[in-house]
Structure formats: structure tokens, C-alpha cells
Amino acid sequence: MSIIIFFMFFACSKDEIATNENTDDTSENTDSSDESNDNNSIDTADWSLITHSNDIDPNYSEVYDDNNTVRRIDIVFDSSDWDLMLEDMSSLFGTFGQGGPGGPGPGGFPDENPIFKPADIYYNGLQWYKVGARFKGNSSLAFSWRNGIWKMSFKLDFDEFEDDYPEIENQRFYGFKQLSLKNNFDDESLLREKVASDVFRESGIPSPRTQFYEVYVDHGAGPIYFGLYTMVEEPDDTLAKSQFSNDNGNLYKPDGNGASFSSGSFNQNHFVKQSNETDSDWSDIIAIFEALHSNNRVTNPELWRTNLESVFDVNSFLNYLAVNTVIQNWDTYGRMTHNYYLYGNPDNNNKLTWIPWDNNESLQHGKMGGSLPLDFNVVSNNWPLIRYLYDDPVYRNIYQERISNVINGAFETSYIQSIYYQYSSLIESSVLNELQGYTFLESSSDFQAAISALNNHAQSRANAVNNYLN
């Protein structure tokens, strides 16, 4: 394995991260003005109902949830399109390898996403055609680009260019419209994104499915190994329909001060709709604010709980809160006003349900003040979904019960350590084959050290939970 000689700590302010880090999918930048579309037909020889059509249900067994295999996916760009993508990145983040946050030079984060360009996708001997592909992320993307590391996350949208190429109308990847290839930034174990999502789902919390993939990119000179990635299911694609009864409810991606749910902070711009976008009605979000901050929280707690539970799936949130606090994920609600979704579950009177997102910073104490303690003694009223619920004796008892369930279930020490062993053995060769300039590891020993840290963390969390409950 080649070693990155230059690796600097990526530091940005809390406000920068809270405002900008995950603006990834709030707006898309599609640049098709330079497409050479002369109405010539595309040879779609590999197209089939099962693999390419939207007339079938998503095939999870093919794309996700195989924990015994590292899959390979190839992304092939025309060299001119690749050059345009790099020019766009330079305009957004400055010159490749010239610093910024995490290094010297210009800093900051752009408000717009990198451009989509058409690429051909190859998987399992089959081809997908003119797939929209772009770089994905914000702070992680900035760090990679500005420090000269090509291992950048990608977003794939399989019918992004269907207007230009009618042959690919409603093209899907085994039933999936979008795929997110996460680069496992700031995670030398390369396991956190997957393991955290697994723990959430095993604990009964709606959460994206994940899968390890080796990613190869060909931008004109043959395939280059970009490294081991984690494929993550997009919530606004298939998650709602697969983990709820249907996808007709409102799906929000909160980000910004209003997403703290602090008193008087509501702003509809901080709750970006990922579904039903043309419906200018945020009454379901507003209802949570009203119920949460009602004066009866003090005067009549029973009525307060009843009203809150009528609009918000409190039971599911307490379950999430228990898991998130046990496994330790600092980069989300309680520290940051992002990295979660809300979905109005049609099967539960459209109550908004919490969906965790972006878990690469989990399974560690973390930065920016670190992960929240089990008793939330550092949490102010600015985070009322934690502060108010924990202060209520009924909800606190439920939370404590759920904590016990987590540490004796999906995050039981010997069990999760066996998962770490299984996954680390599975991906080791893929990780150690990463090349200089396409990895975040400084040396091969970093990987094993990170796995050891995860095992130690699991034991320390069991001890912490035991001390808290007793």
C-alpha cells in the first residue's frame, strides 16, 4: 500500500459545518448545455426489465445487504466531460491540492452542488447508459479536493439525462434511481457508516441500507482504483417505500437553525422538502413546534405528551436517541442542525418520524465538543427534542429502557466486536490496496489501529451505560 505523505487535520468552525456541510441534495446542478446530442440512438444492448427498468421493485439483495462480499462498480466518463467536472470543482473549491479548510489557501464552502455529467456504469458484466454522475459532499469533498486526494464521494442518478437521451427514460439500477457512494471520509476503519446504519435498523429505526463497493473510475486512460466506498441508500429514492408502507408522505431534509426546533426558530427554508415539493404546506413541522413549546409542558405534562405524540413519533425518536447516544455520533442533532430526515408516515396518521443520516463520524467521542453524555447534562433548551423529553420523567424512563435494550442487543459488546471482525476481514484487502492519492490512510497500520479503537470503544460504551443505569 502506498502512503500519503501529506495529511493535515481538517478543521472548520461549528457554524460552518452546521450551515454548510450537508447541502448536498437540496439543489442539483445539471450542466447539459454542452452535450453533443445529435439524436443518434444509444446502443442499449444490456437493457432488461429486471436490471434497468422502473417497473420492478428495488432489488435489495443485489445492491445491498450482502455482508459477505465487496462488490465492484465502474464509472466511465468521456475525458472531455471529466475535464469539465474538474473545471467546475476548481470554480467551487479552488485549485486541486492547494489547501483550504484542512490546509492553506482559500476556504469556505459553495452554496451549489458540483455539476452532473453523463457516465456509463458497469456492474456485474452489465452496462447502464448516460447516468448522471457528480461529486458529492461539502466539507469532506472540500478536504479531499484541496488536499489532492482523488477519493471523493459520488452521487449517481440513473435517469438524470433522460431528456437528452430518451432511450434511458426511467432508467434504474435494479430498481434504484439514485445511488450514493460515500468515501468514508475521516474514518480510518472505513466501517462506521455501515455499522452505524446496521445498528439503527437492527434496533427498529428506519435507516438507509449500505454495502461495501470497490469503485473504479475511467476518465479516458483506463480504470483507476479510487478505493473502497460505502454505498448508501438515498432516503428520497427508495427508503420510504421499503421501510414504511408507501412513499406518499412528506420527506424533509432539515438543515439550519430551525432544524434545532428551538423556540421561535421555525423557517420553512430549513426544512427542505424531498417529496411533495410543490406543496407549500409545512403545517406538520409547525405542529411539532407548537406542541413541543406549549406551556402545558409544565402545567399539564400528560396533555403535553398526548399533543406531541399526535404529530411526532416520539416513541421512534426516543429509540433513535438511545441508539445514537450509546454508539456516540456527535455530527447530528444535539450538536449540529443537520444529518437527519423527517418522514410523515402515512400508516401512523402522518406523524413525522426521525431517520438518521450520514454516520461516518459515529462510533467515537468525536469533535466539536464531542458526543453527548448519556444523561444529556450539557444539553440546553436550544435542543428541546432532547432537553424537554429527557426532563419529562415518563420519557426519561422510556429512554433508559431503550438504552438497556441497545447495549444488550444490537450493540452488545461481544456481538458488535464480532461484526467488526467480520467486516474488517471482508474489506481489508480492498483497503490496503488503496493507492497514494486515493486514500485517507497514511499507512497500512492505520487501518488495524482503527479497528482496535472500535473494539475498545464498544467495551467502553458498555461500561458507560452500566455506570449510567446503576
- pLDDT for the residue 20: 39
Bridge partner list, 135: 154
Considering only CA atoms, which of 354, 430, 377, 452 is closest in space to residue 184?
Answer: 430
For 398, the 3-state DSSP assignment is helix
Integer angstrom CA distances of residue 22 from 164, 272, 283: 29, 12, 24
Rg (CA), the chain: 22
Q: Residue 295 and residue 230: Cα distance in Å, rounded?
A: 45
Q: Residue 30 and residue 184: Cα distance in Å, rounded?
A: 25
For 76, the 3-state DSSP assignment is strand
- HSE-CB at 214 with a 13 A cutoff on CA atoms is 19
Query: Could you write out the three-class secondary structure of 249-283?
Result: CCEEEECCHHHHCCCCCCCHHHEEECCCCCCCCCH
Tracing cell 432489488 back to the chain, one arrives at 59
- pLDDT for the residue 245: 85
Considering only CA atoms, which of 33, 47, 41, 130 is closest in space to residue 88?
Answer: 33
Give the CA diameter of the chain. Answer: 71
Q: Residue 53 and residue 169: Cα distance in Å, rounded?
A: 9
Tracing cell 409547525 back to the chain, one arrives at 286
Q: Residue 116 and residue 105: Cα distance in Å, rounded?
A: 26
Q: Residue 138 and residue 132: Cα distance in Å, rounded?
A: 19
- HSE-CB at 101 with a 13 A cutoff on CA atoms is 21
DSSP line for 180-248: EEE--TT-TTS-HHHHHHHHHHHTT-----EEEEEEEEESSSS-EEEEEEEEE--IIIIIHHHHSS-S-
Integer angstrom CA distances of residue 331 from 357, 361, 367: 10, 6, 8
- pLDDT for the residue 2: 45
The amino acid sitting at 191 is L
Where on the phi/psi map is residue 287: left (φ > 0), alpha (ψ -120 to 50), or beta?
alpha
- pLDDT for the residue 387: 98
Q: What is the mean pLDDT of each run of 10 residues along the chain (470 residues)?
A: 40 36 47 48 94 96 89 98 97 87 53 94 98 93 94 98 96 97 96 98 96 98 98 93 91 96 97 94 98 98 98 98 98 95 95 96 94 98 98 98 98 98 98 97 95 98 97
β strands within 330-458, DSSP E: 340-345, 351-356
Give the helix/strand (H/E) hosting 302. helix 301-309
Return the ∠ at Cα 253 (arms to 389 and 160), rounded to 5°: 160
Integer angstrom CA distances of residue 306 from 150, 182, 303, 355: 51, 40, 5, 22
The runs of H, that is alpha helices, within 23-78 are: 49-52, 60-63
Considering only CA atoms, which of 216, 243, 256 is closest in space to residue 76?
Answer: 216
Phi first, then psi: what are they for 255, rounded to 5°? Answer: -170, 130
Considering only CA atoms, which of 442, 426, 421 is closest in space to residue 1?
Answer: 442
For 162, the 3-state DSSP assignment is coil
- pLDDT for the residue 101: 52
The runs of H, that is alpha helices, within 30-78 are: 49-52, 60-63
By residue count, the chain amounts to: 470
Bridge partner list, 231: 181, 211
Cell matching residue 257: 437553525
Global pTM value: 0.89
Bridge partner list, 121: 75, 128
Q: Residue 348 and residue 346: Cα distance in Å, rounded?
A: 5
